Structure formats: structure tokens, C-alpha cells
Amino acid sequence: MERGSREAFTRMGTLGIEEECFVVDETGRPTSGTDQLVYEHDPPELLEDRLDHELFKCVIETQTPRIESLAAAEDALLSVRGALLEHANAHGYEVAAAGLHPLARWRDLEHAEKPRYRSQLDRIQYTQHRNTTAGVHVHVGVDDADKAVWIANELRWYVPIMLALSANSPFWDGFDTGLQSARAKIFEGLPNTGMPTSFADFDAFDRFERRMLESRSIEDRGELWFDVRPHTGHGTVEVRTPDGQADPDIVMAFVEYTHALVEALAESYEDGTTGHRHRRELLDENKWRAIRHGHDASFIDRELEGTVTLGEVVDRECDRLGIDGIKRVYERESGAEAQRRVLEEQGVQALCESVRLQAG
């Protein structure tokens, strides 16, 4: 069983961005294309060993190379997106991005043949069979394992904020769910997902990871699918909560915010700040508010003494951290509301066009 280690955590502030996207046909409908794109044809050099598929043959994942600084992140993201679109177009496919494809019906879509996913389908059954989700994952390097676990603990309050801002999946299996991020709720049907508990230090997390592997609860450490986790292989803290996004500017807003949060929390850890011991149930309540209300959500505040609106959090965070990307995301129409509006005003074909992946 492959294990990570304390020694993986060596560098502070590096970045990695993973995006899950939908392979679609010329009409924008999901189609089985990952066998061709991942296995049957060599991808562009930039995507070599950085292109994979997910559970369904219509879901593909890209990973950027390790990014040395925030300043280099946008170029890296756009280059990977451009390479993916070039590769897909060369073989007759298009690419779309959202938390859920608005027209995907899981019973009609093919599952991947990869042994890892076949094992998951057999073990998990229904909730994995229907898992047509696609998200954005942001890795930030941390130079100490105990620091990484402390930061991941603290980030738990912030991930519902990111989810609310990213909400981009109102439709699932052919109907309007009434949610802003149905992806988040669909994904929570799997084991080892959602809001994690806190861990005292790296040794506590390592014992948990080892116990899950040794008890055959998971087959590899990647099956700890929590919204935020220390990644013991890459030496990062990984935030996994945002819905997939067609617009790279929205992805970059989450990259900027995640990077700033991790850097600020690292300073707090080094200053000896006492961490919050939030009950997971209260954090789950905040996540539910994000799922249900998106940009209109309010949250139990970080000190658990009142509530705060998403707009108030965004203003405070931008001032505190010296960032502005999430402010622009908040001020625009949410992805979920845009999808609903486009469907009502322009119809299904326009809805499909609205979630096409953009490379700049």
C-alpha cells in the first residue's frame, strides 16, 4: 500500500491546480471520449503524465506541473487548458466545465474500465455509480507536516465560503435540484467525503490514514476525498471544494484565495496561535448553507458567536489578505443562477454552450 510521509512536506507556497472537465460532442452533450484522449492518442507534451480520466468516460482530469509562485499560476492554468482543448479538438471532441454537466444522466453514461474505478463501483455501489461530479482542486505547498495538518484544520471554516462562491451545479440527472451546488451533495454520498474532523498533529493524521489502508476501508490514500486534506504524497494542503468552472478567471480567484489563506495561516501557526476546535456539525451547517443558497448564503461566524453574510466575508477577506479575485466572483452572477437564466431565456443548446471550457 503506497503511503505518504512527513518527509514530503518540504516547500512553502508552491501551487498545483487540478481540474475535472467533461468531454462533450459537437452539440455539447457528454460523450465517452477519455479512452481515446488518455489511452489511444498521445497528448501534447505539456499534458504528458498530467492527463487522466475519472469514473465516467466523459470526465477527464488535468494537472498543472508544480507552479513555483502565484504569479506564474495563470499562465500554467491557461497553458494546460489550451493543450487539453487542442488535444480534444484534434480527435473530434469539445470540453465543458461545471460542477455537474446540466444534461448528464448517469444511467446513460459509460463507466471507465480502469481497475481502480471498477473496484470502487463494486465496493461503493449506487452512490459511486451516479457520481457524475467535476471539481477544482488547489494544492499549496507547506514546508512542515504538523503545520500542514494545523492549516488544514483551520481551513475547514473557509471551504464553505469557497463552495458558495463557486456554486455552479443546479441541475442533476435532468432536473433542477433547487440547490446551488448539487455536486457537493451528490459527492457526499461517497464515504470519506465532506467536512473532515480536526487532527491533533501529523502523527494523528498519519495513524488515521494508515488505519484506513490497513483495514481495507480504502484502497489508496487518494480515496480520502475530504473537502480539505493534507496530501501526504505531494507535501501540500489540498482544497477540493469548488465546483468545476468554465471561466479560468473564477478558478484563478480560488487559487489566489487558497494561496493567501495558506500563507496567512502558516504565519499564524509559526506565531504559536491556538487553533480553532470547531465542531464538525457546525461546519457541516455552513456547508449546507453554501450548497443550498450559494451567493445568498449566510454563515455561522468563525468565532461561533453570530452569523455573517457571504458578502461580508468576502469584503473582510479581501481587505485582510490583500486579494480581489473572490470579490469579482461574488459581484457577478453565480454559475448556478447563470445556468438557470440561460436555460429559461435561450434553451438547452445555449445552456450547453454556456459551460464550454474557456482557455483565455
- Per-residue confidence band for 182, with pLDDT thresholds at 50, 70 and 90: very high
The pLDDT value given to residue 1:
55
The pLDDT value given to residue 197:
96
Average pLDDT estimate for 334-358: 98
The number of beta carbons lying within 10 Å of the beta carbon of residue 325 is 19
Per-residue model confidence as pLDDT tens digits over 219-234: 999 999 999 999 999 9
Tell the residue number behind the cell numbers 455552513, with chain if given.
286
* Pairing mode, strands 307-309 and 298-300: antiparallel
List, in sequence order, every residue forming a beta bridge with 52; answer none if it has no partner.
61
Q: Which amino acid is at 130?
A: R
Q: Which long-range contacts link 117-125 to residues 24+ away (Cβ below 8 Å)?
A: 117/54, 117/55, 119/219, 120/55, 120/219, 120/223, 121/55, 124/190, 124/191
C-alpha cell at 101: 454537466
What separation, in Å, do the N-terminal and C-terminal C-alpha atoms of the chain show?
40
Per-residue model confidence as pLDDT tens digits over 102-135: 999 999 999 998 899 999 999 999 999 999 999 9
The number of beta carbons lying within 10 Å of the beta carbon of residue 355 is 29
Distance CA 222, CA 48 (A): 21
With 60 as the cut, is the pLDDT of residue 238 above it?
yes
Ordered domains of the chain (ranges, CATH): 6-354 (3.30.590.20)
With 70 as the cut, is the pLDDT of residue 14 above it?
yes
Tell me the average pLDDT of the chain. 96
173 compared with 5, residue with greater pLDDT: 173
Burial degree of 347 (CB within 10 A; 0-12, 13-18, 19+): exposed
Per-residue model confidence as pLDDT tens digits over 256-290: 999 999 999 999 999 999 999 899 999 999 999 99
* Residues 132, 109 contacting (CB under 8 angstroms): yes
b/e map 290-300, b = 16+ CB within 10 Å:
bbbbbbebbbb
With 60 as the cut, is the pLDDT of residue 68 above it?
yes
* Residues 244, 18 contacting (CB under 8 angstroms): no
Distance of CA 141 to the CA centre of its chain: 17
Per-residue model confidence as pLDDT tens digits over 300-340: 999 988 999 999 999 999 999 999 999 999 999 999 999 99
DSSP string over 215-276: TTS-SSGGG-EESEEEETTTTEEEE--SBP-S-HHHHHHHHHHHHHHHHHHHHHHHTTPPPP
